[in-house]
Amino acid sequence: MNPILEAHGLGRTLPGERPVVLVHDVELTIERGCFTTIVGPSGCGKSSLLYLLGMLDRPTAGSLLFEGRDMSGLSGDVLAQTRLARLGFVFQFHFLLPEFSALENVMIPMRRLGRLAPDEVRARGFALLAEMGLESKELKTPDKLSGGERQRVAIARALANDPALVLGDEPTGNLDSVSSARVVETLRRLAHEEGRAVVCVTHDLDIAALSDVRVEMLDGRVEKVTDQRAGR
Amino acid sequence: MNLRGISFLVSIAVRHLARRKRQTAVAVSGVAVGVGFFLAVSAMMIGSQNDFVEQLIEAAPHVIISDELRSPSPQPGTRRFGEGAVDLRGYKVRTEVRGIKGWQGIVEAANAVPGALASPSLTGGVTLRLGGHEEALAIVGVDPEVETKISTIEDQLRVGRLRDLETVQGGIIIGEELAARLGVKMGDIVAASTSSSKARSMRIVGLFRKGQAMISSNSGYVLLREAQSLLGRPFIINRIGIHLDDPYAAQEVAARLEQRFGYKAESWQERSSEFLSLLVTRNVIMYSVVSAILLVASFGIYTVVSTSVSDKRRDIAILRSIGFSERDLQLIFVLEGIMLAAIGVIFGWMLGYVLMEILASLRFPIAGEDESVPLDRSTRQYVIAAASSFIAGSVAAWLPARKAARVDPVDILRGAA
Ligand SMILES: Nc1ncnc2c1ncn2[C@@H]1O[C@H](COP(=O)(O)OP(=O)(O)OP(=O)(O)O)[C@@H](O)[C@H]1O
Ligand SMILES: [Mg+2]
């Protein structure tokens, strides 16, 4: 076990006259070098849990340990800085900034972090896009790219600051099977070869079958966690 | 955040604005027109004001001590018994001997003030007569040597010099209009008389230009000695004019001298307090108009930033998920407003400069002289215009930018996914 993220009793309830429970009492450990998938019926709270794990949303119950540090109660600025430096998100829809070219989109996290010199940022941007098989597409704006290409740009952007944890919310949900297979292959490589923790929400049971750990959710709860590595 | 981070936020803001060129152009022109007209109007207002105040300051001595008392001096009876037991009524009031008593001491005291020069003079009424024509005239008896140093009368002479009074026996300087009415020219002789003295001949040695607001057309200058004998008041003066190197010290100097000697000492500010308060009103009006223009300009900025924020909610969510903080997002949109203001200010400066060039080139005749518009073209106005635009722009952008900071990325992501 090499945990990067630990959820203990994690819960999220929307306040209101009739409170809505999105996530309830989740115990979960995410490991480095491991490709984890979250599956479950629509509306069971997969995305909600992912937002909590990615520190985009704040839990209303329980605690979250990231790299051994309790994240609950930290300021929004600290959480943002953590997302910037340590996390990468990929969503179902590509979510690229429309005014920026593919290269510029990939450069955004690096430029905001400001650790690399401008020419290094540029070089790394080209390298990441090349890794995603997007040579010669660098200067195109998102509207000039196909859906699969956009998603690969989004992955390249998620990897820009060399994150320890990559989170995907149905990253292949909008792609044809060929593109989808490529993306999954990439995600597996990120975990197995680069030692990152990868967590993906998916509807696709084939993808779930390919993952190392499968988390099944129902009604906001984690029903079952299966480690699929043992059988292989 | 480091400098690279900030410059990156700037570049995002630039992209946003570049996307909405027309709105940006409208907002920028709003600021530019505001700034440009502020520069032109304030240059005129301040220019004419400076011109006017300068005239006020230089038209007459900065401090004038006269033989008036602010309150009548107590009568001997009251002085003796005070306010207490006795109330004196119906006593015979002792008439004051007009003129400043002990004026030599006052002149000495005034000259002792650093940067001050005092000139004693005597003013009184005479009648000028030529043929059957009579004109009332207030003559001012002066010491030309000192008087030229404390006032600008010398500049207001069309012909002749003040010093000519010393060389010509019975010399007098009067205004052009009066001379025209009497039908006299330089070198002509007129008869001057008072109720108590017989007529004496005076020779015109100089003429004041007409249209000098500060010199009454019915006053004339003679030698102090001449005035004293003409008015039958030898050794008496009734006015001390004081010139100061720093005109703005006039109020203080006047107050000190009045306190010490009891005679009314009037500073130029007191003398022209009505005009000065008029200037304050003018300035209030000018700055209200300018604030209104800038307010309108900031509406434009508000609109651009506000629509930018609502159009970019998705981008805001993306940036937040990438790791931009609430403050980053707020800053991006405030920067948009500041950039709109900055571009507007630059165009406004150019517009203002052009407008001022045009104003400066205008010439129009006033009282026969070709006058130009007095303009104050100091950089201070440029700075004020820029600073107020930046403040207005930042506030106008800050209001919608707070909304950007409050966008919850999770709401947007849920809605889209
Ligand atoms: N703002 C909200 N108000 C009320 N209910 C909400 C709100 N947001 C989410 N929910 C509900 O919370 C539940 C969990 O939503 P979530 O998006 O996490 O599900 P999901 O498992 O990701 O579904 P899907 O597979 O369709 O993406 C859903 O039933 C949803 O209707
Ligand atoms: Mg979902």
Residue B82 CB neighbour total at 10 angstroms: 9
- Of chain A, the percentage scoring pLDDT greater than 70 comes to 98
Chain A residues with CB under 8 Å of B24 CB are none
Q: How many CB pairs under 8 A join A and B?
A: 85
**Token code pair at residue A13:** 């309830």
**Whole-number average pLDDT of chain B:** 84
Q: Is B291 exposed, middle or buried (0-12, 13-18, 19+ CB in 10 A)?
A: middle
Asked if the Cβ–Cβ distance from B413 to A51 is below 8 Å, we say yes
Asked if the Cβ–Cβ distance from A76 to B326 is below 8 Å, we say yes
Is A87 an interface residue toward B (CB < 8 Å)?
A: yes
Q: How far is A111 from chain B (nearest CA, A)?
A: 6
Is A65 domain-assigned? no
Q: Which residue's alpha carbon is nearest to atom 29 within ligand 1?
A: A43
Ligand 1 atom nearest to CA at A48: 18
**Token code pair at residue A74:** 């930290």
* Beta-carbon contacts of residue B391 (< 8 Å; ≥ 6 apart): none
pLDDT of residue A78: 93
Is A63 domain-assigned? no
- pLDDT for A7-35, tens place per residue? 999 999 999 899 999 999 999 999 999 99
The pTM (predicted TM-score) of the whole model is 0.74
Asked if the Cβ–Cβ distance from A112 to B322 is below 8 Å, we say yes
- pLDDT for B99-155, tens place per residue? 888 888 988 988 998 888 999 999 888 888 888 888 888 888 999 988 888 887 888
Q: Is A22 in the pocket of ligand 1 (CB under 6 A)?
A: yes
Chain A residues with CB under 8 Å of B8 CB are 108, 111-112, 114
Nearest alpha-carbon partner for B322 in B71, B8, B102, B30: B8
Asked if the Cβ–Cβ distance from B410 to A51 is below 8 Å, we say yes
**Whole-number average pLDDT of chain A:** 90
Report the pLDDT averaged over residues A133-155.
Answer: 88
Q: Is A218 in the pocket of ligand 1 (CB under 6 A)?
A: no
Is A156 domain-assigned? yes
Closest in A91, A96, A97 to B417, CB measured: A91
Closest in A93, A112, A114 to B324, CB measured: A112
Is A54 domain-assigned? no
Closest in B8, B315, B321 to A111, CB measured: B8
**Token code pair at residue B286:** 């000018």
Buried b (16+ CB within 10 A) or exposed e, B36-72: bbbbbbbbbbbbbbeebbebbbbbbbbbbbebeeeee
ipTM of the complex: 0.92
Confidence category of residue B3, pLDDT binned at 50, 70, 90:
confident
Asked if the Cβ–Cβ distance from A47 to B318 is below 8 Å, we say no
- pLDDT for B11-70, tens place per residue? 888 888 888 888 899 999 999 998 998 899 889 888 888 888 887 787 788 888 888 777
The beta strands (E) that lie in chain A are given as 3-14, 20-31, 35-39, 61-66, 69-70, 87-90, 165-169, 197-201, 213-218, 221-227
- Higher-pLDDT residue of B209 and A61 is A61
Ligand 1 atom nearest to CA at A217: 21
Nearest-Cα residue of chain B relative to residue A93: B417
**Token code pair at residue B246:** 């720093």
Residue A33 is given by DSSP the state T
Domain that holds residue A112: 32-46+75-231
Report the pLDDT averaged over residues B212-232.
Answer: 80
Out of A12, A13, A18, A47, mutate this one to test ligand 1's pocket (max ligand atoms within 8 Å of CB): namely: A47
- pLDDT for A54-92, tens place per residue? 999 999 999 999 998 898 888 989 999 999 999 999 887
Is A24 domain-assigned? no
Chain A residues with CB under 8 Å of B410 CB are 51, 56-57
Confidence category of residue A182, pLDDT binned at 50, 70, 90:
confident
Is A15 domain-assigned? no
Instruction: Mutation target for B interface from A96, A97, A200: give the one with most B CBs within 10 A.
Output: A97
| CATH code for the domain in which residue A174 is found | 3.40.50.300
Is A148 domain-assigned? yes
Residue B216 is given by DSSP the state -
Q: Is B76 exposed, middle or buried (0-12, 13-18, 19+ CB in 10 A)?
A: exposed
Is A36 domain-assigned? yes
Asked if the Cβ–Cβ distance from A81 to B323 is below 8 Å, we say yes
Asked if the Cβ–Cβ distance from A112 to B414 is below 8 Å, we say no
DSSP H or E stretch at residue B33: helix B21-59
How many whole angstroms from A49 Cα to the centroid of ligand 2?
9
Is A80 an interface residue toward B (CB < 8 Å)?
A: yes
Q: How far is CA B75 from CA B70, B89, B261, in A?
A: 15, 11, 18
**Token code pair at residue B203:** 């020779």
Query: Considering its fold, how many domains does chain A have in total?
Result: 1
